[in-house]
Structure 1
Amino acid sequence: MRKTTKLIISGVTLLIIASVFFIIKYNEKLQTLAPVNGKVDIGGYGLNVKVEGKGTPTVIFESGLGGGIGVWTNVQPEISKITRTFSYDRAGLGESDKSTLERTSSNQVRELHELLQKTKVKGPYIIVAHSIGGFNARLFADSYPEEVAGIIFVDAAHEEMFSLYKLLAPKEYENTRGEFVNPEGTFDDLLNSAAEVRKARRSDGLRNIPITVLSAENTDLNVPGTILVGWAQLQRDIATLSDNSKQITVKGSGHMIQDDNPQAIIDEIKYMINNLREK
C-alpha cells in the first residue's frame, strides 16, 4: 500500500511540475505573440512601444529626428497584416521617458535592443529607417549582425552630411548649430553619432546584408540648395554599403516619403520579406 501511495504521490508531483512548466511556456508564447502597446521599462525608465502582427521577419520602424510611432501610421498597419511589426518612441519623445544616457546613436541602439529583449520580439529583423534613423540602423547591424536580415533606408542620413553642410555653407551651418533645439539631444550629439557611424563603417558590416535605399525625388530639407545636391550624392553612397543593394528614387516625394508615397515603402518591405521567406 505504501509503495502504491508513493507511486501515486510521485505521479501527481510529476503531473503538477509538468503542468506548471506548460503554463510558464504557454504564457511566454502568449507574451511573444500578443500585441504590445504602451510603456515598457528597460532599466529605470520606460519606452513607448507598438508591436502588431504575427510572423517573421520582424519589421522594425526607426524614425527620423524627433519622430516616433505616429510617423509610420500609413505604413505599419499594412505590414502588420503579413508579419510582425515594431515601432517605438525613442527616449524623450512621445510617451517615452527621458534617458540619463547621452542621445548618441550607440546609446539609442543599446536601448532599442534592450526594448526588443523586454518585449520578447525576436529577429530576424528588417529595419526600416528614416532620415537620422539610418544612423541607428547601421549601428544596430554593426552591433548585432546576426539579428539583421535587411535594411530599408528611407531618405536616410549619411555620416558625412554635417561635414558637407559645414564645407558648402559654413555660415548657415554655424547658425543651425547655435540655434539647434530638439528633445532628442544637442547638435553635438548628432556630430558624435555621425562619428560613431563613420567608425563603424570601417568594419564593413553591411556588406552582405540586403539593403534598399529609397531616396526622395525632391528632398525638402531646410538647408541651402547646394546641400541638396550633395544629399543626392550621399544617398548613392549609402547604396554602396552592401553588395546586395539597390537605390530607388521615389517620384514626387519629399523627405517624408512615408507621408508623400507610403506605398513605395510598403512595396519594398513586402519585396524584401518575400525574398527572405523564399530562401
Structure 2
Amino acid sequence: MKKIFKWSKRIGLGLIILLLLLLFIGFFFEKASRNKAEKINPNGNFVNLEYHRLHYYKKGSGGPTVVFEAAFDPSGHLQWYHIQEKLPINYTSISYDRAGVLWSDRGNNPKSGEEIAKELHLLLEKSNAPKPCILVRHSFGGTLVRFFVNKYPDDIAGVLLVDTQCPNDEKYSSTKLFKMVNQGLPGGFLKFANTFGLARLMFKSMFPNGKQYEYQNSIMPALLYKSAYAVLEEQDKMSSMKKEASKINSFGNIPLYVLTTTDNKRYNSFIKDDKLKLEMINSWDKMQSDFLLLSTKSKQIFVPKSGHCINQEQPKAIENVINDMVNNLTYPSKFYI
C-alpha cells in the first residue's frame, strides 16, 4: 500500500511538472507569436477618432456605401472579406473592426450600442464614404444596427439583416432554452488560454477550409490575442446593450430585408434535446418574421441549405440581395459627399 501511494505521489508530481513545463513553453510561444503578429501589415486603412484609431477595409467608389457589421466574433471585418471581394466596384463597400478587434485600437469609450454607433458614424465621415448607406448586419450585428438607425436615420437607404439576433429574445423562449443559448463564452478560461497560447490553437480554423478563406484563417488567430479581450468585454456588456436595443422598435420607412435560414438541421450539433431543438427552430423563425414589423417597407428572403452563418455557407445569397438593394435604390443626389 505504501509503494502504491509512493508511486502515485511520484506520478502526480511528474504530471504537475509536465503541466508547468507545457505552460512555460506555451507562454513563450505566445509571446513570440505576438511579436510576429505585430509585423503583419493591415489590409485596409485607419481613421483617427478622438483617442484611438479604427481599422477599415474599403472597396469600390461612388454611392451608395454598403457598410458591413460583424457579429459577436473576434474576426471583425474578415467575416465579410470574401463577400466584399466579389461585389462590384461601381459602388463603395466598407467593413471594419470594432474597437479592440484585430487592427483597431481599443480606446477609452465604453462598450455600449450608442458608442459603437457613434464610432462607426465617425469612421464613415472621416473615410469619405458616399451617402446614403446600406447597412448589412449578421447575428449580434442586428442588435447593434438599431442604435445606428435610431441615431442617424437620414444617412440610411436600407438595412439587410442576415439571420440576426433579436435583442429581446427572452420573450420568445422558455427559461431553459434562453439560459442555454445565452450562457456565453467561459471568460476566465479564455483569458487563461490566451496567455499561454492555447486560444490561438483553439480558434485556428474558425473559417471553412478552402482557398477563399486562407487569408482569414491566417490573420484571425494571429491577432486573436488582441481581439479576445474586446469580444469578452462585449459579452460582459451584451445584456445591457440588448436591453437598450429592445427599446428601439421602429426603422420607420427605411427599406428592410430580412435574410433567414430555413435548414431544420442547423442546430443538430448545438442542441441534442429534440424538444429544445424544435423550440429553438420555432422561436428563431418567429423572431425573424417579427423583424418585418420594424419597417413599413420590409421583405423576408429565405435561404435553404444554410446554418446560422449564411455569410460563409451561402455568401452568394447575400451578394445577390445587396446588388438588388443597390440596383433598386432611389435617392437624391444631395446625399453624395
TM class, shorter-chain normalised?
0.7 to 0.9
User: In 2, distance between residues paired with 1:97 and 1:125?
Assistant: 24
Which residue number in structure 1 is paired with residue 87 of structure 2?
79
Whether 2:221 is the aligned partner of 1:214: answer: no
Cα distance, 1:230 vs structure 2: 1.0
Whether 2:308 is the aligned partner of 1:263: answer: no
Which residue number in structure 1 is paired with residue 63 of structure 2?
56
Work out which of the residue numbers 135, 143, 147 in structure 1 matches 2:143: 135
Cα distance, 1:81 vs structure 2: 2.3
User: In 2, distance between residues paired with 1:131 and 1:145?
Assistant: 21
Gaps (5+ residues) in structure 2? 1-42, 191-227, 333-337
Cα distance, 1:172 vs structure 2: 2.8
**Secondary structure, aligned partner of 1:276:** coil
TM value normalised by structure 2: 0.65
CA-to-partner distance for each residue in 1:245-279, whole Å, 9 max, x for gaps? 11111010111111111111111111111111488
CA-to-partner distance for each residue in 1:68-94, whole Å, 9 max, x for gaps? 111112211222423101110111111
Cα distance, 1:119 vs structure 2: 1.2
Asked if 1 retains the 8 angstrom alpha-carbon contact of 2:172 and 2:287, the reply is: no
Cα distance, 1:164 vs structure 2: 4.3
Q: How does 1:79-228 map to 2 (within 5 A)?
A: 79-162=87-170, 164=172, 167-169=175-177, 172=180, 176-177=183-184, 179-180=186-187, 183-184=230-231, 185-201=233-249, 204=250, 206-218=251-263, 219-220=266-267, 222=270, 225=277, 226-228=279-281
User: In 2, distance between residues paired with 1:64 and 1:45?
Assistant: 22
Gaps (5+ residues) in structure 1? 1-35
Greater Cα shift, 114-123 or 247-256:
114-123
TM-aligned CA distance change 1:222 to 1:91, over 3 Å:
farther
TM value normalised by structure 1: 0.78
TM-aligned CA distance change 1:101 to 1:252, over 3 Å:
same
Asked if 2 retains the 8 angstrom alpha-carbon contact of 1:164 and 1:227, the reply is: no
Cα distance, 1:187 vs structure 2: 3.5
Equivalent position amino acid for 1:195 in 2: K
Among the aligned pairs, what percent are the same residue?
Answer: 30
Aligned length: 240
Cα distance, 1:195 vs structure 2: 1.3
User: In 1, distance between residues paired with 2:159 and 2:290?
Assistant: 15
User: In 2, distance between residues paired with 1:170 and 1:240?
Assistant: 23
Asked if 1 retains the 8 angstrom alpha-carbon contact of 2:92 and 2:130, the reply is: no
**Secondary structure, aligned partner of 2:312:** helix
Cα distance, 1:53 vs structure 2: 0.2
Asked if 2 retains the 8 angstrom alpha-carbon contact of 1:102 and 1:189, the reply is: no
User: In 1, distance between residues paired with 2:270 and 2:46?
Assistant: 33
User: In 2, distance between residues paired with 1:177 and 1:64?
Assistant: 14
Cα distance, 1:208 vs structure 2: 0.2
Give every structure 1 segment of 4 or more consecutive aligned residues whose post-TM-superposition deviation is greater than 6 Å: none
Work out which of the residue numbers 279, 282, 288 in structure 2 matches 1:235: 288
